[in-house]
Structure 1
Amino acid sequence: MQEDSTPQKKPLRAAALKRTLRLYKYVKPYWPAFSLGILFLFVSSAANLAFPKLLGELVDAAGGHRVTTDPHRINQIGLLLAAILIAQGIFGYLRIMLFVNVTERSLASLRQHIYNHLIKLPMRFFLSRRVGELGSRISSDISLLQETFTTTVAEFIRQIIIIVGGIVLLLHTSVQLTLLMLATLPVIMVIAYFFGRFVRRYSKLAQSQVAEANTIVEETLQGVLNVKAFANEFFEMKRYRQKIQEVAATGMKTGKFRGAFAASMIVGIFGAMIGVIWRGALLIAEGKMDPGMLLSFVLYSSFIGGSVAGLAEVYTSIQKSIGATEHLLEILDEPAEPIAETAVVAPQDHLTGQLSFSNVSFHYPTREDQQVLQHVSFDIAPDQQVALVGPSGAGKSTVVSLLLRLYDPQSGTVRFNGKDATSFPLSALRSQMAIVPQDVFLFGGTIRDNIAYGKPEATTEEIREAAQKANAWEFIARFPDGLDTVVGERGIQLSGGQRQRIAIARAVLKNPRILILDEATSALDSESERLVQDALEKLMEGRTSIVIAHRLSTVRQADKIIVLDKGQLVEEGTHQELILMEGGLYKSLSDMQFSH
């Protein structure tokens, strides 16, 4: 079994590293600045390597075994050391400034790219993921990459330069002592390999747990009214505490491996240095080495030892970054919807308002064993007002999802203008439809922003006119700030009826060819319902309208009523036709509602 498992792991590590390197395409536009930063890094790292050599020469110039000293040589070396130190400071400043600038621009581009991709993903992607988790990917995971781009990569390159350059200079100084010191390298590499696997695994787990904890915070704050109404504050505190404790436990496990890694490195490196100094002291005693040479060797060994030990920290940071990168690339690897910015719809893509379902069957991707629609067929003519009615779970809202092409049916065809829906550009199709849902979502900005969401380039006059048609202007005008009134998170500052009328104004402004009303008046009081219903009747004029309703009183005037039950179309006709069908579902629903 072991022989089988070993070869499988290598490709995974290589693949993970290859996937991580994909992120460097975001650095490409800033490659000149990044290359200059690398040059400054190389120069400042090389300058570091000059110190041990010059300090050794300084000690030897001071006397050592010699009878006379050379003050001029001492001053010359001292001034050279000071000049290198100043140059190193300047190059270090320029390198950090360049790396930070490149990092901030690259990560801004990455954030934008991930958000752009995320918002273009199909609905099936969001069925199995929570908002807080996705938010954490854009915030926490990218923040982790920020440290990697800014500090870790630079440190890695700097330490590699010091290690390689230091070893070359050590060999030049004393081959015997260098070989003694390098004998510890195989041990260090085995330790790095062993502990690195565990650090990466636990770092990836910690990122996932942080995302889950963020989800709890986001959901409870968005639903704080429900939390308080059910007196569940302490329940949510406990739920969050459990998740945070999981994060802490995973972090502590990671810390154990990082600590053991660092301790092993220190013991190995400084053990080697003790051996080197011991052997060097014997060589000085035998007259085979100058004190300055041993000082240079010890300093080079210290630099190399410090860099190798620093590589332990850099290595664990890179492993954490690979874990974060994998999460981000999982999102980027998801196939997006083929949407495009559409300022003007092409003439051949204009909707007439005619649409049809032909033998459509559908199940949601997360519930493949449960058919939501089964062989549903119907036709809707241009400018018709059509009602979809039926018990909860009959498939009414699913019909709307298929019209908007949030999903495509597993079998059958949805048609517009007699053509397959898939032959229309997705953005062109959706841009000619509008939906007024039961649970209106308002963004946390102003009333103006929320109405203009239906047409972002709309003028103030157009927005005001849309508000008037939606019977919303009378309450907007009463606010001191009018259209610039902030509605609060999810529109919490407004009543249900007011939110509904803002949504209608948004749809009015969009001026769709096909209008979808999903239980738009079911949660309103009588006065609000009257105002909203009046606004809806104005909105439905001159366009194809599809109304989903439980309350049959709102759909009596519809040109056609489609009755769904358990995913099947069971009846179709006008109110007068359906009410005469003895034993029919519509008549049964109607009798139940109007008998109370």
Structure 2
Amino acid sequence: MSTSSPQSVFSWVVSFLSPYKLRVIAAIIFLLIGSLAWLSLGQGVKLMVDEGFVSDNSHRLNQIILLIIGITAISASAVFCRFYLMTWLGERVSGDIRKAVYQHLLRLSPGYFADQRTGEVISRFTADSTLLQSVVGSSLSMALRSSVTVLGGIIMMAFTSVKLTLLVLLAVPLVLVPVSFFGRRVRSLARKSQDKVGDLGAYIDETLHEIHTVQAYTHESTDRSLFFQRVEAVMAAAKARILFRSILIASVMFLSIVAIAGVTWVGAQDVMQGNISAGELSAFMFYAVMVAGSVATISEVYSEIQQALGAAERLADLINTPVDIPSPAHPVPFTKPMTGEVKINQLDFHYPSEVDSNAIDGLNLHIKSGERVALVGPSGAGKSTLFELLMRFYQPQHGQILLDDIDIAQLDLAQLRQQYALVPQESVIFALSVQENVRYGRPDATLEQVKQACAAAKADEFIEQLSEGYDTYLGERGVKLSGGQKQRIAIARAILADRPILLLDEATSALDAVNEQKVKLALDTLMQGRTTLIIAHRLATVVNVDRILVMDQGQVVASGSHQQLMQHNALYRKFASLQLLDLAQSESGADITTTDITATDTDTAETATTPTVTAQTSTAQTSTAQN
């Protein structure tokens, strides 16, 4: 829950009007002209009664009617200009707030979004900013116009009759009480209502994005029930807000009319006693009705503004979220091209939600420029976490990472991340065309360069078969592509980016045997002269690397070549045995038992098992080379 005061939130919203001061001033001028024109109609009513009706002067009456029409024309023209300017300002401020919030969100680390629901954030961009747009463009204008009308009306009433004006002012505190009390309640309930709407949006976003899983597990009825519950929660939150807002409007209107009725009765007595003329009473009543109507408008708009302040609080919460991993104020510049040497010294890291368990624990590592290094190990060993730390998506609690002997914490974030080309295991495809997806890391690349990268990634074959080739729209999350096709697009993106360090998270996991071999050849070409870190879950991925690091519980427990690790590391031997036994089963259909696998873990069986596994490794390598 936000702790921002209404004044600070309102000031934050108003600050977005500063760049458009001239338009704001023009809108205020037209607002004043329109309001003053309407107020001057009261004098027209007075003249019409006293100099037209009472004096039975038709010529003077005609003049007064023409004067009223002229005043109305001026007022209508001012209303047009005010409405246009205020509506434009509402759209502009809403757009600027969206841009400011989005720009800030792009600076937040993945750790922030791990704790937030995307649909909730989207709701703030849409529902909350649209509500602000409505208030700035319409409600705020109405509030200002009504405030001017109230102030001007009271002044004109005082010129007409001080006595009656004082009686009207006595009723003002009665009107302000419900405005103050119910207005605060409306603001609080509006914030709660918007939170419920955000929760609803988050649920819609989640279920529709994962519609395949929803339908595959026939979860529709459950999701429908849960969605209906959220809709009713929104309705329940809105019900209280609507109740208090209705009470606010009704009470203000009732008290205003009662006050006017009482003052009218007193005024009528003064007319009968000759203290004021009928025209003056008519003018006074005209102003009193205008003031009452304006007060009613203010009360209605006030509740809308309170609701908008609740929405503004949610947007302000986003933009005030501190950037957890900022670029240094004075970053160290690169004085020469990056060679790709990586040093890691005594690195400790735990995720914010796992303070009692280190994902990386005292890690020391030196990767030479141009070296190919594979990371293997069980799930949760820290392989993907290391990738996250290299790109500074998270900040380690202890230790440092050096690129070319420069601490990455001293580098500008954008410059740091421009040294990496990432191919994740789950390929990310945006709702763009093929060429826009491929040039994502290099927006200035030409179409010919895009085609060359796709050819190197062996993606050109299927791209040319698409309906519009490289201009084919791939749909949300690449829904039109298979898993292997998505991965080749991601590899083409990394090839085109042409960066000194490659981070490959099992980049061939979604490919069939034929395409895997093609892409591996493309990756071999890509890796030449570049530092490469490969998260490997399949043994075929690590055959041609310079060094294999075995990770377990956030530490490197062994390092060496495949043959060395097979002889000296039981964890890697178990990993390799399972991989090769699966390969042997698929190739020869041999009946392998779990006893054979278990035997690799025992000291007594190591000597007997190692030659067998080594022979299988040689067979797999020979088979890979032939393919």
Determine if the TM-score, normalized by the shorter chain, exceeds 0.5: yes
Q: Helix, strand or coil: the match of 1:75?
A: helix
Aligned equivalent of 2:576: 590
Task: Give 2:52's aligned residue.
Answer: 62
Query: How far is 1:154 from its partner?
Result: 0.9
What is the alpha-carbon distance in structure 2 between the residues aligned to residue 54 and residue 323 of structure 1?
43
State the match for 2:437 in structure 1.
450
Given residue 573 of structure 2, which amino acid in structure 1 is its aligned partner?
K
Q: Which stretch shows the higher mean deviation, 126-135 or 330-339?
A: 330-339
Q: Partners in 1 of 2:266 and 2:468 — Cα distance?
A: 83
Looking at structure 2, the residues matched to 480 and 256 of structure 1 have their Cα atoms a distance apart, in angstroms, of 55
For structure 2, the residue ranges without an aligned partner over 5 or more in a row are 583-627
Q: Distance in 1 between matches of 2:23 and 2:523?
A: 57
- Provide the aligned C-alpha RMSD in A: 1.9
- What is the identity, as a one-letter code, of the residue corresponding to 1:418? D
State the shift of 1:74 in Å: 2.2
Number of matched pairs: 577
Which structure 2 residues correspond to residues 65-76 of structure 1 after superposition, within 5 A? 68-76=55-63
2:89 & 2:268 partners in 1: Cα distance? Answer: 48
Code of the residue aligned with 2:168 in structure 1: it is M
Amino acid at match of 2:580: F
Can you list the C-alpha shifts for 1:92-123, whole angstroms capped at 9, x where unaligned? 11111122223323332222222222112222
User: In the alignment, does 2:513 pair up with 1:505?
Assistant: no
Is 1:260 the counterpart of 2:247? The answer is yes
When structure 1 is superposed on structure 2, of 168-177 and 541-550 the one drifting more is 168-177
**How many angstroms apart in 2 are the aligned matches of 1:311 and 1:478?**
63
Q: Tell me which residue corresponds to 1:300.
A: 287
* Structure 1 match to 2:222: 235
**Counterpart in the other structure of 2:311:** 324
Indicate if the aligned counterparts of 1:349 and 1:424 stay in contact, CA closer than 8 A: no
1:25 aligns with 2:15: yes
Distance 1:82 1:480, change over 3 A: closer
**Aligned equivalents of 2:205 and 2:550: distance in 1?**
38
Contact 1:349–1:429 (8 Å) recurs in 2: no
Separation in structure 2 between the aligned mates of residue 16 and residue 524 of structure 1, nearest angstrom: 56
* Counterpart contact for 1:120–1:339, Cα < 8 Å: no
- Correspondences of 1:323-402 after superposition (within 5 Å): 323-336=310-323, 338=326, 347-348=334-335, 350-402=337-389
2:175 aligns to what? Answer: 188
Q: Assess, with a 3 A threshold, how the Cα gap between structure 1 residues 309 and 158 changes in structure 2: closer, same or farther.
A: same
Q: Give 2:295's aligned amino acid.
A: V
**Counterpart residue number, 1:3:** none
User: Secondary structure at the residue paired with 1:435?
Assistant: strand
Q: Tell me whether 1:50 sits opposite 2:37 in the alignment.
A: no
User: Is the partner of 1:289 in helix, strand or coil?
Assistant: coil
| 1:63 shift after superposition | 4.8
Please state whether the residue corresponding to 2:335 is helix, strand or coil.
helix
Residues in 2 aligned to 1:477 and 1:266: alpha-carbon distance in whole angstroms: 69
Give 1:374 deviation, angstroms.
0.9
TM-superposed deviation, 1:347 = 4.6
Per mean C-alpha deviation after superposition, the further-off stretch among 385-394 and 73-82 is: 73-82
2: CA distance, partners of 1:480 / 1:122:
37
Identity %: 37
Find the counterpart in structure 2 of residue 167 from structure 1.
154
Q: Distance in 1 between matches of 2:465 and 2:527?
A: 27
The answer to whether the Cα contact below 8 Å between 2:487 and 2:510 also exists between their aligned partners in 1 is no
The range that moved more, 573-582 or 436-445, is: 573-582
What does residue 106 of structure 1 align with?
A: 93
SS of the equivalent of 2:12 reads: helix
| 1:12–1:218 CA distance, 2 compared to 1 (3 A) | closer
Opposite residue 318 of structure 1, the aligned amino acid is: I
Which 5+ residue runs of structure 1 have no aligned equivalent? Answer: 1-10
List aligned pairs for 1:64-213, cutoff 5 A.
Answer: 64=54, 68-213=55-200
Name which of structure 1's ranges 528-537 and 307-316 shifts more when overlaid on structure 2. Answer: 528-537
Which range moved further: 522-531 or 248-257?
522-531
Distance in 1 of aligned mates of 2:352 and 2:43: 67
Q: Does 1:570 align with 2:560?
A: no
Per-residue deviation, 1:26: 2.4
Q: Which SS does the other structure have where 1:576 is aligned?
A: helix
- Find 2:474's aligned residue among 481, 487, 491: 487
**Is 1:40 the equivalent of 2:26?**
no
Residues in 1 aligned to 2:406 and 2:280: alpha-carbon distance in whole angstroms: 86
- Kindly state the Cα deviation for residue 325 of structure 1 after the two structures are TM-superposed: 1.0
Q: Tell me by how many angstroms 1:488 deviates.
A: 1.5
The worse-fitting range, judged by mean Cα deviation, of 437-446 and 100-109 is 100-109
Mean CA deviation greater in 287-296 or 347-356 = 347-356
Return the alpha-carbon distance in structure 2 between the equivalents of residues 230 and 554 of structure 1. 34
In 2, the alpha carbon distance for the partners of 1:34 and 1:586 equals 70
Question: 2: distance between equivalents of 1:304 and 1:18?
Answer: 29
Q: Quick one: which of 519, 523, 531 aligns to 1:536? A: 523
Counterpart amino acid of 1:25? S
Q: Contact 2:90–2:135 at 8 Å: present in 1 too?
A: no
Which whole-Å CA distance do the structure 1 matches of 2:189 and 2:515 have between them? 54
Secondary structure of residue in 1 paired with 2:347: strand
